[in-house]
Amino acid sequence: MKSLSLSEPHAIVMVGIPGSGKTFFAEKFAETFSAPYLEAALYRHFASDDTAAEKLFQHTLSQLAKTKQSVVLEVDTDSRTKRTELAKSLKAHGYTPLFVWVQTDMKTSAARSKKAYNMSKDEHADRVKHFSPPHDSEKPVVISGKHTYATQARMILKRLSGPRSEMIAKKPVPERQNNVVLR
């Protein structure tokens, strides 16, 4: 898909249970929008502890915000409280947050989690149990983790572009001329 740029900085935030397809779609959105992709798990892997990982992540985000460039985030969004805090932080950095909820059935997500992360069924079930689905007030875009990227990307583009009526420049209506020729 052709790379697109957004007129204002958005933070596309991936939400979903483990194995739903968040990473796949995050990587594709980052490519499509030529946007940096920040994955919290990477910060946790290399940082000495969770506090250090969070500080590094926030520092990186604040530096990216200076560029006014959109960003794709895959961070801990399992609870509504965490998503609310994240949205406030993103807004403070000048971003418009967009939560993208990737949904996939339990059997598929459990199999993907086992393959990608060697996650046991019990660990997967525990993570799913603690997941709080986005509330309508968060205005998430819901996509399927089992459909192709192209079909799901249209939904994101539609949300990011806003209503078509706002996008179309209003052309001035030409003055009506009554040219009457008398002979």
Q: pLDDT of 49-98, one tens digit each?
A: 999 999 999 999 999 999 999 999 999 999 999 999 999 999 999 999 99
Q: How far apart are CA 36 and CA 90, in angstroms?
A: 15
Question: 10-167, which class in CATH?
Answer: alpha beta
Share of the chain above pLDDT 90, in %: 70
At 157, is the pLDDT very low, low, confident or very high (cuts 50, 70, 90)? confident
pLDDT of residue 173: 44
pLDDT classification of 172: cutoffs 50, 70, 90: very low
Q: pTM for the full model?
A: 0.82
Domain ranges for the chain: 10-167
Question: Distance (Å, rounded) from C-alpha 113 to C-alpha 129?
Answer: 15
Q: How far apart are CA 140 and CA 87, in angstroms?
A: 12
CA angle 45/46/48 to nearest 5° reads 100
